[in-house]
Every structure is written in structure tokens, then in C-alpha cells.
Chain A
Amino acid sequence: MTKTIAVDEATWKKLRALKDKLGLQSYNDVINILVERWHVTEIKEAVDTLSLDLEPQEAVSILKSMRKMRAPNIDKQ
């Protein structure tokens, strides 16, 4: 099912220019790309706020040692 949204003349021109620039077939694709990019930018900002200066193995081994302290028998299967 399709839905209609209203935009003013200036916004429509910007969307049309972007559609041509990106070589997209429809305004549906343009809006989807804009939404996707917005999510990516927002999430990147959030991820950068939590900057852990650790290598992957280091991060996992810290978790493992914390687990062992909390439950010493957990890995003795």
C-alpha cells in the first residue's frame, strides 16, 4: 500500500536533484537512503561517545576474568 506525503516546492527540487545525482529510480528509494544515512550518522556519534581503547581479544578476556571472579566454577566443566 502506498502513502502520499506533501513537500513544498524547494524540498521537492532538492529531492529531485538528489534522485538524479544518486541515479535512483524512485523517490521511495531517495527517502529510504536519507533515513538509512540518518540512522548511520546518529549511531556513529553514539558509538564514538563510548570509545573503548581495547583490542577485541583484550576486551573479551577482561569479561572472562570478571566472570571467573563472580563464578569461579563456571569454566571448570
Chain B
Amino acid sequence: MTNSEELLEQSDLLLDASALAVLHSSKYRDFIPIIVSRFNVHVTIFSLVEFAASIYYTRKTPPSTSIMQVMRKIYNVIDTLDDALIEKIAMLMGELTHYSIPATFEDIANVVIALQRKMVLVTGDPERYTGLEKYGAIILNVEELIRSTEEFLEREIKP
């Protein structure tokens, strides 16, 4: 078992907007039911706003579809933050500003939530966490999750 497989077996997953974009693409969307039945998969409301904005921008979904209703059916949505999380996010924002490290609010929130709740942060765009990885969050490229799902399917199909 490789390190990334061990991580996947042991932890809940937190998907960021770029991981959602990759998984909901035409190439990989059939993997989603398998991924969410194998793992506890969470997304923050902030990543959902970012992902939903890209859907509205590209106009790829019928206007009648409630994106939030669909997403809540698929994922565990983190839509409230407790006081400790809010304080940790604010602290990290302050620290990053002090050292002139640019980062968006969504990325900082994802890093802090993954750290505090011991989740693996899954991303389709690892570059966005440059400068944030030193704070200790475990960051996994969504390609690793896809590879693990492909291997799982091969094992299930071949007895």
C-alpha cells in the first residue's frame, strides 16, 4: 500500500473547488458515486461557492438546477464554523499577511479545516497551496484519488 492509499484509507477527505471541478468533469464524474461510497467526503460552503460560480460562468447547467441541493445530496457540506475554527482561520490570515504570502480566503479556510478536523485536503490545483503547506495540512492531488479509484474498480471487476 502506498502512502497516498494509506492516507485515503485512514482519513476523511476535504475536496476543494478545483478537485470538484476535476471530479465533475465529463471524464471522471462516473467515479463520484464510488468515491463517496468508499470515503467520507466533505466540502466547505466556500469551495462550493467557488465551484458553483464556475458553473454559472460557463453556463453548463440548466438554470432550473439547484446546485446546492445536488451537492448536499452527494457530499457532507461544512456550512458552519465553530469559534475555534474562525479564530484559527483569522490567525493564519494575519500570519500570511505579515509574511506577505498571498492566499485566498477559501484556500486558508480549507487548510485550517483540514488541519483541525484531521482530514486530507484533496485538490486539482496543488499550486494554490504554495506557501501554505508548511502549516501541516496533508494535501493530496486529486489524480491520486482517481488512480486509487481506478485500481479499486480493477480489483472489483477482476475476481
Contact = CB atoms under 8 A, between A and B. Distances in A.
Nearest to B35: A43
| Chain A interface extent, by class | 20 to 34
A54 B60 contact: yes
Which applies to chain B's interface (DSSP): helix, strand, loop or mixed? helix
Interface residues of B, number: 41
A42 interface: yes
Interface string A42-71: 111011111111111011101110110011
B108 to A, nearest CB: 12
A43 B18 contact: no
B21 A74 contact: no
Contact of A52 (B60, B74, B104): B60
A8 B150 CA distance: 40
A24 B109 CA distance: 44
B91 interface: no
Given A40-B33, A52-B26, A60-B21, A71 B58 contact: no
B125 A52 contact: no
Given A50-B55, A62-B57, A71-B104, A55 B27 contact: yes
A54 B58 contact: yes
Contacts of B53: 66
Given A52-B29, A59-B54, 14 more contacts: A40-B34, A40-B37, A48-B29, A50-B67, A50-B70, A52-B25, A52-B58, A52-B60, A53-B60, A59-B25, A66-B57, A74-B102, A74-B128, A75-B127
